[in-house]
């Protein structure tokens, strides 16, 4: 039977009103503590894209379009923070009421889930950043909730169409959503609906995502003279490879393709100097996964200036993006063991203990913002400040990683028990189908994060929310099974 959002007469509907009141209170406290939003390097890229009405840039353009949309009505920073925070809350409510019918076997879960979604201290704080995170998490919650409804019998073409639109928006906001379309297509194929509807749903996804990719490639070629979907992907590939290659002391005598020789020479020269250092530079390298991406002295940065000496970061990155992608793959093929042991295993550890990053340092530790932020938000000066300092708080450096580890353990063991030891007899088929979606997401998310993506706490929040949303019911089923009298 298709899932339905509870109406006013439903006893749990009151939780929606409580959520709105709690959210308004939290927002008021947030803006008292932090009258100005927090900025980092990525923030200025988004603001540049919005200010120049760009269709492509280093990061996906979706969040910049949100800034531009809000800018049609007001350039108030408080209004933008309000929109992105309340978009998350609205999406979380949709997800909340999607999950509630599935976990009716344990009434206490809805209250804990309410706390996770609406009293989570990470969400107001990350929403106060000029970053895509809260918007992306909101879109991801909408996306996963729609999938749960589709898999549990909802068959309307309207839902399939809105799902494809949400998927397109999510795909345009962060590269981490690159595997989302594949999950959607798998679930639609498994849905019990007429074949023509399945094909219609898949066709909408393929057409919209392909159209966005083609548009982005063409716009990149027009603006930066090099056709590619993402220049950042090439930089990320090269950076991942260099993190592993930096541990190689006995380098192979292998033929280097001519197109790589100048870059490879610069890389080797840099690695030789890096291994001889015991200074701040080397310490920073060993603790920062994005070191080769952004450090101004890294060979990726210095070589990009030689290829295209431009102060515009996007133009430099686009000019060498394809080359860096090929070079990164070349190094990984030559040193697969080092890549597996030094990059993949390190990323696996970081997956469960991600750096807190923005959660422990307001405005990157600065009291000023760049000119583009001052102009867009119409500040009187470039100086900003806060009333509350989160520096040194262990909530995000210790307890949140602990939650991630515990969630992963509970979720994994719970799934094993659910399918291997018959716990699913205590739950509904609808919960089983929803759980399968969550498992599929975790597998894809883990593989993508460990093999290709930088890992920080804000990138793990949606995965943590989704994991807890199913780890708790699985724990309840375990407790219920042990409480049942044996025959």
SS3 238: helix
- The pLDDT assigned to 7 comes to 45
Question: What is the DSSP-derived secondary structure letter of residue 111?
Answer: H
* Nearest-angstrom CA–CA distance, 38 and 47: 13
The answer to whether position 216 is within a domain reads: no
- The pLDDT assigned to 483 comes to 62
* Nearest-angstrom CA–CA distance, 264 and 258: 10
Question: What is the DSSP-derived secondary structure letter of residue 486?
Answer: P
Which contacts of 192-198 are long-range, i.e. CB under 8 A and separated by 24 or more positions? 192/153, 193/150, 193/155, 194/155, 197/155, 197/157, 197/160
* Nearest-angstrom CA–CA distance, 245 and 342: 9
Q: Look at residue 77 and tell me whether its pLDDT is greater than 70.
A: yes
Question: What is the DSSP-derived secondary structure letter of residue 130?
Answer: S
Report CA dihedral (200, 201, 207, 212) to the nearest 10 degrees.
Answer: 160
The answer to whether position 90 is within a domain reads: no
- The pLDDT assigned to 79 comes to 97
Q: Look at residue 274 and tell me whether its pLDDT is greater than 80.
A: no
pLDDT band at 148 (very low <50, low <70, confident <90, very high): very high
The answer to whether position 109 is within a domain reads: no
Q: Look at residue 135 and tell me whether its pLDDT is greater than 90.
A: yes
In tens, the pLDDT along 163-191 reads 999 999 999 999 889 999 999 999 999 99
Helix (H) or strand (E) segment spanning residue 21: helix 14-33
Q: Look at residue 396 and tell me whether its pLDDT is greater than 90.
A: no
Range of the domain at 336: 231-365
Burial 327-365 (b: 16+ CB within 10 A, else e): bbebbbebbeebbeebbeebbeebbbbbbbebbbebbee
Tell me if 282 sits within 8 A of 274, measured CB to CB: yes
User: Considering the chain, what is the average pLDDT of its residues?
Assistant: 88
The answer to whether position 436 is within a domain reads: no
The answer to whether position 276 is within a domain reads: yes
The count of structural domains within the chain is 1
- The pLDDT assigned to 454 comes to 81
Tell me if 185 sits within 8 A of 205, measured CB to CB: yes
* Nearest-angstrom CA–CA distance, 265 and 269: 6
Any residues with CB less than 8 A from the CB of 469 and at least 6 apart, and which?
Answer: 95, 99, 113, 116, 438
The answer to whether position 249 is within a domain reads: yes
Burial 165-176 (b: 16+ CB within 10 A, else e): ebbbbbbbbbbb
Question: What is the DSSP-derived secondary structure letter of residue 391?
Answer: T
CA 193, distance to chain mean position in Å, is 31
Q: Which of 193-202, 330-339, 447-456 has the lowest mean pLDDT?
A: 447-456
The answer to whether position 272 is within a domain reads: yes
- The pLDDT assigned to 1 comes to 46
Q: Look at residue 121 and tell me whether its pLDDT is greater than 80.
A: yes
- The pLDDT assigned to 225 comes to 79
- The pLDDT assigned to 311 comes to 67
Q: Look at residue 27 and tell me whether its pLDDT is greater than 50.
A: yes
Token pair in block for residue 346: 């390190």
- The pLDDT assigned to 281 comes to 46
pLDDT band at 280 (very low <50, low <70, confident <90, very high): very low
- The pLDDT assigned to 486 comes to 44
Residue located via tokens 């070079």? 327
Q: Which residue has the higher pLDDT, 481 or 95?
A: 95
Tell me how far apart the terminal alpha carbons of the chain are, to the nearest angstrom.
32
The answer to whether position 426 is within a domain reads: no
Q: Look at residue 287 and tell me whether its pLDDT is greater than 80.
A: no
In tens, the pLDDT along 56-70 reads 888 899 999 999 999
- The pLDDT assigned to 487 comes to 39
* Nearest-angstrom CA–CA distance, 195 and 176: 30
- The pLDDT assigned to 310 comes to 67
In tens, the pLDDT along 355-394 reads 888 788 889 888 999 999 999 999 999 999 888 877 666 7
Helix (H) or strand (E) segment spanning residue 267: helix 261-275
In tens, the pLDDT along 78-108 reads 999 999 999 999 999 999 999 999 988 888 9
Instruction: Please provide the DSSP assignment of 269-322 as one string.
Output: HHHHHHHT--SHHHHHHHH-TTHHHH-TTSHHHHHHHHH---S-HHHHHHHHHH
């Amino acid at each position: 039977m298709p899932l339905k959002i509870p109406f006013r007469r439903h006893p749990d509907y009151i939780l929606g009103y409580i959520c709105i009141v709690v959210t308004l209170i939290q927002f008021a406290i947030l803006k008292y503590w932090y009258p100005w939003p927090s900025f980092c390097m990525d923030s200025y890229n988004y603001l540049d894209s919005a200010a120049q009405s760009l269709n492509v840039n280093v990061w996906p353009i979706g969040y910049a379009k949100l800034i531009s949309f809000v800018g049609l009505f007001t350039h108030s920073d408080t209004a933008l923070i309000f929109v992105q925070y309340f978009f998350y809350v609205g999406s979380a409510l949709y997800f909340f009421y999607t999950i509630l019918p599935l976990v009716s076997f344990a009434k206490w879960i809805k209250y804990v889930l309410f706390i996770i979604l609406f009293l989570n201290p990470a969400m107001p704080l990350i929403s106060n950043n000029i970053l895509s995170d809260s918007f992306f998490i909101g879109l991801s919650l909408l996306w996963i909730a729609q999938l749960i409804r589709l898999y549990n019998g909802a068959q309307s073409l309207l839902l399939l169409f809105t799902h494809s639109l949400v998927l397109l928006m999510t795909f345009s906001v962060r590269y981490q959503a690159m595997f989302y379309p594949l999950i959607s297509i798998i679930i639609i194929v498994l849905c019990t609906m007429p074949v023509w509807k399945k094909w219609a749903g898949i066709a909408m996804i393929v057409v919209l995502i392909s159209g966005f990719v083609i548009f982005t490639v063409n716009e990149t070629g027009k603006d930066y003279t090099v056709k590619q979907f993402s220049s950042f992907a090439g930089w990320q590939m090269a950076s991942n490879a260099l993190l592993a290659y930096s541990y190689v002391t006995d380098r192979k005598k292998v033929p280097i393709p001519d197109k790589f020789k100048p870059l490879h020479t610069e890389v080797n020269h840099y690695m030789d100097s890096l291994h001889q250092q015991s200074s701040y530079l080397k310490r920073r390298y060993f603790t920062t996964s994005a070191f080769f991406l952004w450090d101004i002295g890294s060979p990726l940065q210095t070589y990009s200036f030689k290829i295209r000496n431009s102060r515009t970061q996007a133009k430099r990155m686009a000019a060498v993006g394809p080359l860096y992608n090929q070079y990164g793959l070349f190094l990984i093929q030559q040193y697969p063991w080092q890549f597996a042991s030094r990059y993949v295993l390190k990323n696996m550890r970081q997956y469960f203990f991600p750096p807190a990053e923005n959660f422990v340092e307001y405005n990157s530790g600065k009291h000023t913002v760049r000119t583009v932020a001052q102009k867009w938000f119409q500040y009187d000066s470039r100086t900003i400040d806060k009333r509350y300092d989160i520096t040194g708080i262990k909530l995000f450096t210790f307890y949140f990683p602990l939650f991630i580890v515990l969630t992963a353990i509970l979720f994994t063991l719970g799934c094993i028990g659910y399918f291997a030891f018959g716990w699913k007899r205590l739950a509904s088929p609808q919960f089983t189908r929803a759980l399968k979606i969550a498992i599929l997401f975790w597998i894809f998310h883990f593989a993508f994060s460990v093999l290709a993506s930088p890992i920080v706490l804000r990138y793990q929040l949606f995965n943590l929310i989704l994991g807890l949303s199913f780890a708790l019911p699985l724990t309840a089923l375990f407790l219920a099974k042990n409480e049942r009298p044996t025959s």
